[in-house]
Structure 1
Amino acid sequence: MSKVRWRSVSSVFALALMSTATPSLAEPEQKLNWNLEQQNLDAALRAIGRTTSHDIIFPAEAVKGHRAPALNGTYTALEAVEIVLKGTSWTAVERDGAILIRERSSKVAREVNHDAANTEIVVTGSLIAGVASPSPMQVINRERMLDNGYNSLGEAIRALPVASGAGQNPGIGQNVPESVGSNLGGGTSINLRGLGSDATITLLNGHRLAFNTAVQSIDISAIPLAAVERMEIVTDGASAIYGSDAIAGVANIILRKDYRGLTTRAYWGASTDGGNVQQNYSVTGGTTWKTGGFILAYDFGHSTPILSRQRGYAAARSPGLTLYPGFDRHNMLFSGHQDLVPGMTFSIDGLYGERTTDRAFASSVAGDYRIQGLRRVTETRTLSVAPNISLDVSNSWKVNFSGVYATDRTLAKSDDYWNSVLTRTELCYCNKAFSVEGIAQGTLFDLGAGAIKAALGGGYRKNFLHSYNRLVENGQSIRASQDNRYQFLEINAPIVRSDDSGAFLQSLILNGAVRYEDYPGIGDVATPKLGAVLSTGYGMMFKVSWGKSFKAPTLYQLHSVRGASVYNIGVFGGTGFPAGTVGLYSGGGNPELKPERSTNWTASAILQPAISPHSKIEITYYSIRYRNRIVTPVTYITQALSNPIYADLVSLNPTGDEINAALDGALFFNNSSSSWNPAKVGAIIYSQYANAARQKIDGVDISLSHHADIGQMGDISFWANASYIESQQRLSALQPESELAGTLFFPPHLRGSAGFTWDQGPFRLTPVLNYIGGVEDRRATATYDVASMTTVDLTARLKIDSSTPIFRGMDISLSAQNIFNNKPSVIATTQVSQAPYDSANYSPWGRYISFSISKSW
């Protein structure tokens, strides 16, 4: 995009903002004169919302059977709502420009854990606060995570059926293809639909962090669970809202805003088969005052690794292998806000984390890495500072100016042994990110069905990567950066809204967004999105969305050093070659890469019937057409010479010039059993990064929830989630379309979980059933079935609210995950350094018992 074009578009946004906002700060909300007659409560709330241009969000049970009293006098919108709610068990709070109706009793507040969509203002699916997003959403809050026995965000996200354990995650084995997953430094990323950690945007309080290691993913393990309010997950393409990387969706981790007091927590857990002994200690404190507040959380964790000798299915097949790394971590988070003057609020989020992980593998059946193998200790340091200023520039418009400075440094120190000879290396992936953004949101006008609202703005972001190996110099390090400028517009327009509670068509809301991003040297991308939300009078809601999304190439894909690796020809599946023949594998970065692109659409049906207002069923169909996917086109090097689909990527009996061209400027590794001799090269396999792949992804998500009051027995909240996926991929011209979902290392066709929480006074009991479907191993000519994995978890919590100070605010939890100690099925391996199971889908934890105790002071 030229500078002239950029400036002209910027001018349009600036004029639009000037036309809707006054230069001075807004006064406190204006009081209006009211004269409303007695009427149904839902009609009264809608009338107040229309008059004041506020979104008033309430569940159906809040208004069913209630009449609102007459409203006469001078009140603000919030005061007016409180008056019409008198005599009910419901109250109103204002949040993010919207008014939220929630029940006064604590029991229904606990119900929010299992049906947060009804009572929380979900903001991630839209840049306009308080509006209904046409995209499907999933929300899980901290209490739900604790009820399920989770001790970290990583455990919670990997348990969701829509997520995958692949990508950048701890425990990923060496035999998992690089395009599917990796484990450097033990970081945890979010990988929706199994499309990769770099195809899901992860936000902290709405802002981005620095990327982790070489992939374009975000490490969430540095975020203390004690400081988290909830996770909001958009399972739909969202580049029109958030830009690059939102192919599979967006995950926004929302921090606790107003916290008062001090809470300490101690946690201990271990796998009964050995290893994975975890300790965690945290302190969370905060306070509020009339014009602000803050929360400060510190978290220390220690875990021992899971070793192959501790698992019967791996002891003989993979001696000396670390199946799951241990770690030591220190995390600290600060979040605060302060009203500077009426209408102006300053807030800031700060995150700092340190983590050390240790893992090893042997390369020989001796099982001792000190003879032949590798031990790697990785040190990761994460820092993020995100300030924000929010201005109320009029009664209906708000402007936010925000910035982010973030770093993520992962230093891997490796001891590499070859026939007991030690070589030491230090490899660093040093990432840095900087961004500034301005966004205005507010009401344009009202056509009678409700306020038409808009959000518009733009920003600048720059990412840096410095990757180097202290053993290898001569220009082999990466020092690269990529900046981009972007502008966006979103409009939310109510088209139909009925005041008649008996009408079939209650409301129809249309939503449209477009975003333009300019990546110098790569290209510019415009991504639109359209959606609609239709509500009926029978507790039915329908959502539909369509849009374009994209992902810019990572700095590593663009600039990583070309590599040339030599192996015995048999490693590539070569047969019939003379003895001593080797193959040369050529891979690495490609500066000519272009953005990946996708077309996404979803359709959702949500049923929350009036006869059962505490029940909810949601069914979503999703479709993704993904093209120009950046891949290394040779998926399994063991088939490079035996499978004809790779023929256009192979040069047999290469000439000397071809060999020299493959070696020119490349980092050379001789992994063959003999000394290097160019005359022995029988084939070159070309597998540099390329915009080669096309993928089709289709599936269905289903969620159920129900809350029942069982009188003196307490109450029960039931929930169930399932995700079904079909996906296919074509990697290159000669390769046929191949199945991804349901095959080794890719998501199984079906994942699901179901459970309930029985709440009886201070006691809660939560059993959970988790199902991960089976996959097929198609790496060899014969196909083998890898069995599914079903686990049962059980967590008991005792929350003591005693008048005795020593017991007041105490929370005790005992949890058992995978009670029946189900184990992953064994798969074929060719080297002892490979995990003998599908480590992208199944866990080596086995039965895991944990205990925690926390105290609020």
Structure 2
Amino acid sequence: MSQIRVRRLSLAVHTALLGVFAAAPVLAQSDEVILDRVEVTGSRIKKAAIEGQTPVMTLTREDIARSGLTSVGDIVQQLTGSGSSLNTRFNSSGNFGFAPDGGGVGAGSATVDLRHLGAKRVLVLVDGIRWVNEASASGVSAATDLNTIPVAIIERIEVLEDGASSIYGSDAIAGVVNIITRKQFDGASVSVYYGEYQEGGDTRSGDFAIGGSGDRYSFFLGGSYTEQSGISSTRYRHAAVPVPGTGLTFGSSATPNGRFIFVDPDGDVRSITTPNGSFFPNGASYPDDFIGFGTANRFNFAEYNLMLTPSERKGVFGQARFNVTDNVTWYVRTLFNNRKSLNQAAPEPIFLGPDAGTGNPYADDIFISASNPYNPFGFDLISSGPGANLIMIGRRPVEGGARRFYQDVDTWYVATGLEGAFEAGDRSFFWDLNFVASDNKADQTNHGSYNIRRINMALGPLAACEADPQCVPLDIFNGVGSITPAMLGYIQPIVRDGSENSLRQVSANLSGDLFDLPAGPLAFATGIEHRKLDGSYTPDALTVAGEYNGVPSLPTSGEYDVSEYFLEFNIPVYATASSQLNLSAAGRYSDYSTFGGESTGKLGFRWQFGDDLVFRGSVAEGFRAPSIGELFGSTNRFDATITDPCLIGLDGSPPGGNAANCAQLGVPVGAEQANSQISVNTGGNASLNPETSDSAMLGLVWSPAFGANTSWSERFDIELTWYRHKIENAIQAPDAQTQLNRCVETLDPFYCDGITRASTGGINGFANQLQNLGTIETDGLDFDVFWTFPAFDWGQFRLAWQNTWVNDFEARNEVGDLEPRGVGIEVNDSAIPEWTSNLSLTWRLGDFSAGWTVRHISDMVEDCGDAWSFELCSNPDAASESGTNRFGSTTYHDLQATWNTDWFSGTSFTLGVNNVFGKEPPVCLSCSLNGYDPSNYDLPAGRFIYARAEIKF
């Protein structure tokens, strides 16, 4: 598909517009004009003829209720075009560290990914206006947390599955999610909800709505409360160990009894521990009380994790509209939403010595003195310099309890503006002026972490510790229970981090018909918009000082503003009694304070034949501006799970890399990988350029006459859409495992620069800064069928079958090498199924209705990695010491029944079961936590049974 370039628009603007708003009645206009004023996601032109020009998936309140879900993110993630994204099934805090894009962990949030292009390439609107990005308390995110929007205030959700940067600006590369709030409501309603998995994890919610209207005003007020309990990983057998089916092979070397690797005075390398569960209150005797460290001594960190993270969400939303004159309406909307959530990880490990690889000098360059009263070895343990003999110590102080990360997130939103209409000659025009202010602020409190500077002090010379009245000598040598409350009191702080994202935006729009062409009026929309975004991340002072034993980070702060102008046309080419062809064209110019100007364009067509058939298509340019985190994010650490091809594996397997190359990289023969978590230093880049994209869409909508008002069908519709997206200059950091493998294979400085090793051979430095790297290309097909049956004495049925096939997905790095992610492949806790399908059948008879939904995910494969020799790896290859594991296709069944009565002003009772047959997800060997992919599959906690009651007054 050839690229379409739109002429650069050089108009400088400092006030601007974004605004597709729901229409308010304009009293002076005729019925014909009012009916023609239709808001359509994917276009700024307010005209009924625009509908159907782009593929828009609409979820009504009935659809939302039928899902049985209480999170907007969970609802949208079930669409067939959605990809892997955060939700409350991700227990993402702990050793995950910081994402390279500076967005933080996103703990407790729920985001949306369309076409598998990432959440930051999806634009989220509320009533047509851009929503604020999340503050994750650990960074400045470029994605929107859908948990900031209560389900109770939603009238419908419209999902545009097409590139739309020329219509809406940055971030709309993969599509747009437009959440339309409730406006027209007279009376009051109250609803309550309760649901629970077989394995626990109950959800409770309640909401209320009050609304009214008069001759010149209308108002709506809604509130909601949702509380979700957590589920421990121990409730799922495959989540109870680090890698399913491998026992403790891939457990941590930081154990409650400690692992000690050093060179003894005789020159022998020792890798020892005390027997599991042992405690020597009077001090262990070396070497008599120590044993060789083996697999059986590793630590099972998985049982401390959560499969479902607990959260509590409270929100209130209100809006009012007042007809100032017959042609002008003033509106105001406001929202406050609070989320409290929790993530949990195993007790924080303490790694010391050159092979610790933390990048923290207090840990890597430690000196453990023989004068420490608990040191059983009788000699100093020295990391570097003369007499260096320490390789690594790993100790898991279970005495301090699990790490628990509490998030407290507030979202404020205020929007106000004027909407109106006027006539010029015989033509009607619509306009609006809007102002939005929104803030998302998050605080996180971490219990269970440690101060590494104080650990260094407490392990050092006794005299230095005694000189500090607060210092308590630390015992990490004598088994479980050796660390006393007094020791914990000295080394264990409470860590508090915070972040904030804010959005300020003003906009103005004008839409109408310019003049008549032979086939109809030339419709247009134009507008200006100015928005300012600023964000900050403020880690705890302890972290900034470099004293935090966990994942270190530095503050981030930045802002930018953008002024934009757009112009859109709908051009009728010809119209006859049997067919009609319309063309559309849109262009946008954006002037950013960070990198300058950017223009995008879009061309499309809609060709209708009678009432039965519509062909449609588009080609579009897009771009995504670098986010605050990507531009200004400071150097942070991400703890990646990496297999070092130059070292003996955790399971004792021989190195898989080129031996000569490994030797040249400084790896001694026989060196072992002590720790699979390698600290990777990430950071923003102020020199980043925008991502650019080219998108294409071609499809049809067929509503055959033989399927309308017949004995077998009231209405029958088929929709078919082919899509393609290509992103260039994609902002990302190289995949750490892939970079390391290529470094070992090629010794190319392009891959090896930034990777350093200690004298023992282990990696002790790994730089991974953001760049504009390579390309991403994907294409696929959507195929949907909607069939409404005639009404019979025994009720009426409606069938909806929605499918997405991903034909191809390729990501290439800056030198053209193919990255591991692809169709049908599980990698990095996410996957791209070749085929996803949702089939729903609903039935209605009088006061009763019921629904059955089938959700299908096609089979996939993963690389077994070092787990190739275990039984759960379905296709091992002993010759190459590798293998792949096949995920079988997975199908879920959901049922729901509703009874509506006329009690009060209307009452309904709903009972539903999601995952009726308790289907478990495929076992994942490469996934970081819990033995399955939570971004693609339901929670492995059995059936989810729920009930809802709603009363209207």
User: Shorter-chain TM-score: what band?
Assistant: 0.7 to 0.9
2:330 aligns with 346
| Alpha carbons of structure 1 residues 449 and 13: separation in structure 2 relative to 1, 3 Å | farther
2:603 is the counterpart of 1:512: no
| Alpha carbons of structure 1 residues 368 and 452: separation in structure 2 relative to 1, 3 Å | farther
| Alpha carbons of structure 1 residues 564 and 236: separation in structure 2 relative to 1, 3 Å | closer
2:66 is the counterpart of 1:150: no
1:837 aligns with 932
Query: Of the candidates 809, 820, 835, which is equivalent to residue 906 of structure 2?
Result: 809
Please give the residue correspondences for 1:160-175 in structure 2 after superposition, counting only pairs within 5 Å: 160-167=79-86, 170-171=89-90, 173=92
Please give the residue correspondences for 1:520-599 in structure 2 after superposition, counting only pairs within 5 Å: 520-537=593-610, 539-563=612-636, 574=647, 577-578=667-668, 585-599=680-694
Distance 1:723 1:327 in 2: 32
Other structure's SS at 1:250 match: strand
Distance 1:795 1:567 in 2: 42
Q: Cα distance, 1:368 vs. partner?
A: 9.1
The 8 Å contact of residues 344 and 390 in structure 1, kept in 2 or not, is answered as: yes
String of CA shifts for 1:78-127, please: whole Å, max 9, x gaps: 4xxxxxxxxxxxxxx945725xxxxxxxxxxxxxxxxxxxxxx6344444
2:410 is the counterpart of 1:375: no
The 8 Å contact of residues 487 and 517 in structure 1, kept in 2 or not, is answered as: yes
Deviates more, 1:684-693 or 1:329-338: 684-693
2:234 is the counterpart of 1:309: yes
2:947 aligns with 851
The 8 Å contact of residues 100 and 770 in structure 2, kept in 1 or not, is answered as: no
Distance 1:204 1:327 in 2: 23
Deviates more, 1:457-466 or 1:725-734: 725-734
Query: Of the candidates 608, 625, 637, which is equivalent to residue 726 of structure 2?
Result: 625
Q: Cα distance, 1:767 vs. partner?
A: 0.5
String of CA shifts for 1:99-157, please: whole Å, max 9, x gaps: xxxxxxxxxxxxxxxxxxxxxx6344444343235321111111122133233322321
Other structure's SS at 2:570 match: strand
The 8 Å contact of residues 283 and 297 in structure 1, kept in 2 or not, is answered as: yes
Please give the residue correspondences for 1:28-427 in structure 2 after superposition, counting only pairs within 5 Å: 29=28, 76-78=30-32, 94-95=34-35, 97-98=37-38, 122-130=40-48, 131-132=50-51, 134-167=53-86, 170-171=89-90, 173=92, 178=99, 184-213=106-135, 214-274=140-200, 276-317=201-242, 318-362=302-346, 371=400, 373-394=402-423, 395-417=427-449, 421=488, 422-427=492-497
Distance 2:754 2:518 in 1: 75
| Alpha carbons of structure 1 residues 683 and 313: separation in structure 2 relative to 1, 3 Å | closer
Other structure's SS at 1:277 match: strand
Distance 1:315 1:617 in 2: 45
Distance 1:399 1:653 in 2: 55
The 8 Å contact of residues 265 and 855 in structure 1, kept in 2 or not, is answered as: yes
Aligned residue identity for 2:900:
K
Other structure's SS at 2:687 match: coil
Other structure's SS at 1:777 match: strand
| Alpha carbons of structure 1 residues 538 and 411: separation in structure 2 relative to 1, 3 Å | same
Q: Cα distance, 1:224 vs. partner?
A: 2.5
Aligned residue identity for 2:409:
T
The 8 Å contact of residues 172 and 840 in structure 1, kept in 2 or not, is answered as: no
Aligned positions, number:
729
Which structure is richer in relative contact order (CA contacts within 8 A, separation 6 or more)? 2
Distance 1:187 1:11 in 2: 33
Deviates more, 1:774-783 or 1:564-573: 564-573
String of CA shifts for 1:369-427, please: whole Å, max 9, x gaps: 66575211111111111112112132511111111100011212112446765243222
Distance 1:645 1:724 in 2: 36
Aligned residue identity for 1:689:
L
Q: Cα distance, 1:839 vs. partner?
A: 2.1
Other structure's SS at 2:500 match: strand
| Alpha carbons of structure 1 residues 445 and 369: separation in structure 2 relative to 1, 3 Å | farther
Counting strand residues as a fraction of each chain, which structure ranks higher? Answer: 1
The 8 Å contact of residues 581 and 682 in structure 1, kept in 2 or not, is answered as: no
2:560 aligns with 482
- Note the aligned Cα RMSD (angstroms): 3.2
Distance 1:425 1:6 in 2: 49
String of CA shifts for 1:561-607, please: whole Å, max 9, x gaps: 11367999965764562459997733211111110111000001110
2:293 aligns with none
Distance 2:696 2:10 in 1: 32
Distance 1:331 1:77 in 2: 37
| Alpha carbons of structure 1 residues 169 and 457: separation in structure 2 relative to 1, 3 Å | farther
Using the size of structure 1 for normalisation, the TM-score is 0.79
2:269 aligns with none
Other structure's SS at 2:831 match: coil
| Alpha carbons of structure 1 residues 155 and 630: separation in structure 2 relative to 1, 3 Å | same
Q: Cα distance, 1:775 vs. partner?
A: 2.2
Distance 2:421 2:40 in 1: 21
Using the size of structure 2 for normalisation, the TM-score is 0.72
2:701 is the counterpart of 1:606: yes
Other structure's SS at 2:148 match: coil
String of CA shifts for 1:594-649, please: whole Å, max 9, x gaps: 10111000001110012223110000000011111111102437954776379445
Other structure's SS at 2:855 match: strand
Distance 1:185 1:332 in 2: 22
String of CA shifts for 1:211-247, please: whole Å, max 9, x gaps: 1133211122232222211111110000000000011
1:112 aligns with none
Q: Cα distance, 1:329 vs. partner?
A: 1.3
2:834 is the counterpart of 1:756: no
| Alpha carbons of structure 1 residues 355 and 524: separation in structure 2 relative to 1, 3 Å | same
Query: Of the candidates 804, 807, 812, which is equivalent to residue 723 of structure 1?
Result: 804
Structure 1 runs not aligned, ≥5 long: 15-25, 31-75, 79-92, 99-120, 660-676
2:859 aligns with 774
Distance 1:779 1:481 in 2: 43
1:826 aligns with 923
The 8 Å contact of residues 372 and 417 in structure 1, kept in 2 or not, is answered as: no
1:496 aligns with 574
Distance 1:160 1:568 in 2: 30
Q: Cα distance, 1:652 vs. partner?
A: 7.1
The 8 Å contact of residues 620 and 701 in structure 1, kept in 2 or not, is answered as: yes
Q: Cα distance, 1:737 vs. partner?
A: 5.2
| Alpha carbons of structure 1 residues 790 and 448: separation in structure 2 relative to 1, 3 Å | same
Aligned residue identity for 1:532:
F
Deviates more, 1:604-613 or 1:479-488: 604-613
Distance 1:688 1:436 in 2: 34
Other structure's SS at 1:825 match: coil
Aligned residue identity for 2:942:
G
Distance 2:336 2:641 in 1: 46
| Alpha carbons of structure 1 residues 351 and 127: separation in structure 2 relative to 1, 3 Å | farther
Other structure's SS at 2:130 match: coil
Aligned residue identity for 1:703:
D
Distance 2:104 2:856 in 1: 23
Distance 1:438 1:345 in 2: 14
